[in-house]
Amino acid sequence: MNIVGVTACPTGIAHTYMAAEKLKMAAQKLGHNIKIETQGSKTDNVLTQDEINNADLIILAVDKDIELDRFHGKYIKKVSTAQAIRDSEKLIEEGLNNIEVIHLEKKEKNNSNKTGIYNHFMNGVNYMLPFVIAGGILIAISFAFGINASDPESHAYNKLAGALSKIGGDTAFQLMVPALSAGIASSIAGRAGFAPGLVGGTLATVDGSGFLGGMISGLISGYVTNILANKIKVPQSLSALYQLIVVPLISILVVGLAMVFLINTPISWLLDTLTHWLNNFGQSSGILFGLLIGAMMAADMGGPINKSISTFSIGLMSAGVDGPIAACMVAGMTPPLGLALATVLFKNKFTVEERTSGKSCWVLGASYITEGAIPFAVADPLRVIPSLILGSATAAAISMGAGITSLAPHGGIWVIFIPNVINHLFIYLIAIMSGMIVTALSVGLLKKKVAPAQNSKMI
């Protein structure tokens, strides 16, 4: 019989390898072929899909979650590493006799590309976003008590406001660049990249190179650690020691020295220059930058272009530049809101199904979920997407031209109910309305009337 398996314990040092060794010895004693993949401090002896497909028995001796996609559609014997160490012969016999085996339901194959620098950056953004969103909103709420309510030196000091500011601004916001860096590094090197990424990102925060430094530290951490942890071969007897001590020591040292002596100083200068430039925008420059932000936000409605400019704007918040994120938010709300308005004003240019979808766009747009516009763009891209770009660019240009800032990075129209979050609330509402109307009128002008037959099919 052909047996394959995976062993994995939480620390990846001892039980992973002990369980693998016991299973090998038991299988050989019983006269079976066996191959065990060890997911310890690094993954060794990786199973191929052919080996999994041709196996008569699959044993997963694991004490933590592992990737199971390879085993979907298969029957497996799942136990702990302790059971594998203690009763290896017994569980092999049970597995071959279909005793207490489980069937993993087959799932659709995920063809998404997990490699590439863009995906590494997006992984970092996913790590960072909880800190940004929660931190930003907590800061915004603290300002509801008064603009100086979190300052202990102020006569308007409020303890709750101070606590919210400390949680959101002094803690969550301070962790967003380290989280970004750690997420990028982990995407490249796996779990081993987390620590050097976190250290590199913290150095970027401390030394002022901000999110640009964090992105660079994430890449350096990821690629250096990937070489150390996954490319260099060491004897199995030294593997645990190597992964536990040598990999983090060298990777953190290399990343730390690179950040201190090579990266932080020039990137800090670049970020300071960029911050100064953005803070001193004239009205005309602000309008031009707003047009660019709006166009990028609406171009792919939550895709890579949209994410690039919104991530850039979130990063600028860490440097105290709050104008671009306000423009991003208004430009992100406009596409669904404009389409919702268009379905009301130009009913004969939308199918019944589209008019129904338009109702949900009111909520999606108000909540800053730009993706609500995608179904309309997919159905008629040549007419809808240019209209969305035009409306979002209008809204963002008004926002940037008027010098509007937002202390919250997300939340859509709902943050306007928190006092002091948006500095020029009335103009901000005008920006939203203007973008919405431009979008709706453009769509109404460009789209053709729906043929009666199309609607009759929908009803």
Looking up tokens 């779990």 gives: 191
Instruction: Name the helix (H) or strand (E) containing 298.
Output: helix 283-299
Q: Please provide the distance, in angstroms rounded to a whole number, between the alpha carbons at the two ends of the chain.
A: 59
Three-state DSSP class for residue 191: helix
- In whole angstroms, how far apart are CA 413 and each of 21, 41, 355? 59, 46, 22
In the annotation, is 9 catalytic? yes
Q: How far is CA 14 from the centre of its chain?
A: 33
Going across the sheet that includes 2-8, the strands are: 43-44, 33-39, 2-8, 57-62, 75-79, 102-103
Contacts 24+ apart (CB under 8 A), 400-403: 400/281, 400/286, 400/287, 400/289, 400/290, 400/293, 400/323, 400/324, 400/327, 401/283, 401/284, 401/286, 401/287, 401/290, 402/427, 402/431, 403/281, 403/283, 403/286, 403/323
Closest-CA residue to 387 (of 449, 333, 440, 429): 440
- Cβ neighbour number for residue 173 with a 10 Å cutoff: 22
CB 92 within 8 A of CB 57: yes
Helix (H) or strand (E) holding 171: none
- Paired sense of beta strands 33-39 and 43-44, if any: antiparallel
d(CA 210, CA 178): 9
Reduce the DSSP state of residue 404 to 3 states and report it.
coil
Q: Which two tokens stand for residue 226?
A: 């990937």
Q: Give the max Cα distance, the chain.
A: 81
- The answer to whether 297 touches 310, Cβ cutoff 8 Å, is yes
Which tokens is 335 given? 């596409």
Query: Which among 3, 4, 9, 319 is annotated as catalytic?
Result: 9
Distance, in Å, from the CA atom of 58 to the CA atom of 104, rounded to the nearest integer, reads 11
Catalytic residues: 9
